[in-house]
Structure 1
Amino acid sequence: MTEREPSWEWYRSFLHVLETGSLSGAARALGLTQPTVGRHIESLEAALAVTLFTRSFDGFSPTDAANELRPYAVALASTTAALRRVASGHGSGVRGTVRLTTSEIIGVEVLPPILAGLRNDYPELTIELVLSNEPDDLLRREADIAVRMFRPVQEALVAKRIGGIEVGLHAHERYLAQHGVPKSMSELPRHTIIGFDRETAYIRSLQDRFEAFNRTNFAFRADSDVAQLGAIRAGFGIGACQAPLAARDARLVRVLRREFSLTLDTWLAMHEDLRGSARCAVTFAALAAGLKAYIGGDSRLSAQRSAAR
């Protein structure tokens, strides 16, 4: 190993070669030339005295050493990005970048009007939105603020419970006109059902309560909540949907209300070190107010959404 400290640029190139499997793919993603990325990899290998990739006709394959280094390089990238976000917020007034993480359905269907109002109030604020059903790690600063459907337990986080979002079975009125309305859960398997593809621990915990709502009965399977919502809206069949979201469209009809009802406990969380950040404080407050309005079915939120289209 050489005494020279590896450059962050070398690690950044290393991560992109891991992700793309080639120098050319990494170069395109980084806006660099292929020889430059190649030099970065060679320099990093020399500095660490390890071989990171095996070269072959179909690309670059990571070695065991590269796979062991991956989480540390990812953490370094997250820290560097957080450093830039913190620096961007300094100056007069509310300004800078806030990185949010939330589920697909909340990010696509609920947050846009909230964030549009926030931007109108604070035009120097920039939002980065990560749509994922997998929680980003706030402790490693992969995001500044998270909307989560479970209670955060880490002591280093500031967490606020927003409320419970009810989920029920819904179908487009066009589907129900053609196929009828199920009168009980036992009739559900005779209908076209929209649901998940891969089971999660949460889904498995619900199987005893809703035996008819299982993968073997689904005619449309997708792990994307947005894709499931699109299928419901298209009249494909009956699927689970957040009740406040379905209530915005009079053509979506709830079925089996008494027999099928779930509650998604909804929380906002951020790292306690960001308490004094003006950019995060105003964003946290706007999200809390907007999500509460959504859960409560505030008609003003729907009006904002329509006006934002």
Structure 2
Amino acid sequence: MNNKKNTLLVVNGDYSYCIRAKRLAHTYHNEGCKLSVLSHNMSMQESNIAHNYHFKNQGTTLSKARRFIKLLLRMHTSYLNEQKAHQLADKNFDTIICFDLICLPFITAHLTYTKLVVDLREYYPKQFEHNFIWSVSFAPLYKFICKKYLAKAEEHWTVSPGLQKAYEKFYKIKCELKPSIPQVKALPLKPIGKTVKLVHHGVANPNRNIEDMIEVVKLLPDNYLLDLYLVNNNHRYYRKIKALVDSCDRVKLNPPIPQQSIIDVLSTYDIGLFICKPNTFNLAHAWPNKVFEYHAAGLRTVTTPLPGMIELKSWQNNIYYSKDYSSESIACAINSLR
């Protein structure tokens, strides 16, 4: 008799590129669950995935434009009703994990389950608050979903205390804290070498202040080197960073690190960087994957005094933050570790 719990992970995007989703899948697989994934990736093949379901294509450019007009007109129910999936009408699941909030109305309307979990890794009503178009289109949609659908789930997870407090304050939802911690035993904190190797990895996004990292290196002694491993999801900003890297011989730009190699690659460095400014609510309260990966790889982490990072310091003894957000202060924090 097969007693494996039938679990479905629902991802609005390409599961292959979602590190947190893949870590959740790994955890549930190791706990003996029969795990399936519903996403927009139709060719995925992984040994721990029992079934790969996919959302139906959203249609032509014209139909997408019509859907966007619905967003602007706040026709949220009509917009959400257009989300469809293949081969799931007669399936029953013990647990469904909603990895992306926008999938929650579809799950409650069309899928059969015993338990529903929502992974709130962002404070979604402010996810891209710096973008005006997003603020007048998707922000009202996410507020609508939070108000109408969050209470339909049995469990809610989030990734930092700041996000916990926001969901409880504005939507009366109590979230369990589940940060994105690598499923490996952390290496011991390593001594810093004569040549100090700094590293940062992640997306090439202007709100990551990568140009500030290059400026910081210029303020440090000549034995400090910086390697950047960036995902080029913003071509204009990536070109800007590449030009800055070309002007500084102590900074190197590299391709993204494959997920399975992150800890091994990071372990060859001394200090990991996360030096954002609190330009958005989610950045101010972030507990990002990379900071836990730096810890797992035995690195010290230098960060700016973001509220989330100050809270995280009580969890991890490898975090050091600058007095303020200036390049000079960050360089001072890095140099003090010698």
TM-score, length basis structure 1: 0.30
More helix by share: 1
If you compute each CA radius of gyration, which structure gives the higher value, 1 or 2? 1
TM-score, length basis structure 2: 0.28
Greater RCO (CA < 8 Å, at least 6 residues apart): 1
